[in-house]
Structure 1
Amino acid sequence: MTRSEAVKAFFLKSVLPVAAAMFLYCIFKSACIRGGELDYVWLWILCGLPFGLHRMCLWIVPGGGSFGGGIALFALNFIIGGVIGGFVLAWRLVVAVLYVPLTAYRLIAG
C-alpha cells in the first residue's frame, strides 16, 4: 500500500466518521436536553439515524387504515433505524480509533 493510499484510507475510515459523529452531536445536543439534563437515549437514536435508516432490512408497514396507527408505526421505523444506526456509529468510532496505529505502522513501515 502506498503512502497516498494509506492517508486516503485513514481519512475515510478514521477522520470522516469522527467528524460526522461530532457534527451530529453538535446538531442534536440542544434537542435532547430534558429538564436541564442531556437525554443520552434520544441522542443515541438521533445521532444514529443517518447511519442506520438505510440499513434496516424490514420496514413495518401499517395495515388496517388507521391514520394514527400508521403515524405511530412510521415513527417506530425511525426509532428502530436510529437504534441500529447508534450501534453502527459506535462500531465505526471503534474502528476509527483502532485505525490510527495501523496507519502509523503503514506509514513508518513503508
Structure 2
Amino acid sequence: MIRREIMTDFLKKAVLPIVIALLLFSIFSRIFTENGARDYFLIWLACGVPFGIGKMFTLIPIGFDIAGTVGIVALNVILGGLIGGVILIWRLAVAVWYIPLSIYRFATA
C-alpha cells in the first residue's frame, strides 16, 4: 500500500468514528443533564441512533391504530439506539486498534 491509501484508511477507520462519537457525546451530554448529573444510558442510547439507523425499522407498524403505530416506532428507535450503541462501541474499539496498526504500516511503507 502506498502512503496515501494508508492515510485514507486511517482517517476513515480511526479518526472519523472518534470525531463523530465525541461530537454526538458533546451534544447529547448537554441535553441529558439534570441537576448537574448526566444520564449516561440515555446519552449512549442517543449516540447509538445514527449508527443503528439501518436496524431501526425491523418492526413495521401495519394494522395498528395511531397509538400502536407511535408505540412501535418508539420501540424501533429504542432498539436502533441499543444496537447502534453496541456498533458505536465496536467502531471505537476498532479505531483504537487501528491507530498502532496504521503507524506500523506507515513506518514500513
Counterpart position of 1:41: 41
TM-score of the superposed pair, with normalisation by structure 2: 0.92
Counterpart position of 1:81: 80
Could you list the per-position Cα deviations for residues 14-35 of structure 1 after superposition, in whole angstroms to 9, with x for gaps in the alignment? 0000000011111111111234
User: How many Å apart are 1:62 and its aligned residue?
Assistant: 2.9
Instruction: Give the match's secondary structure for 2:50.
Output: helix
The separation in 2 between residues aligned to 1:59 and 1:35, in whole angstroms, is 36
TM-score of the superposed pair, with normalisation by structure 1: 0.91
**Is the 2:56–2:80 contact (alpha carbons within 8 Å) kept by the matching residues of 1?**
no
The separation in 1 between residues aligned to 2:34 and 2:84, in whole angstroms, is 22
Q: State the identity %.
A: 41
Q: Mind listing any 5+ residue stretches in structure 2 that lack a counterpart?
A: none
Q: How many residues align?
A: 109
Q: Which amino acid in structure 2 is aligned with residue 32 of structure 1? A: F
User: How many Å apart are 1:69 and its aligned residue?
Assistant: 1.7
Runs (4+) off by over 2 Å: 61-66
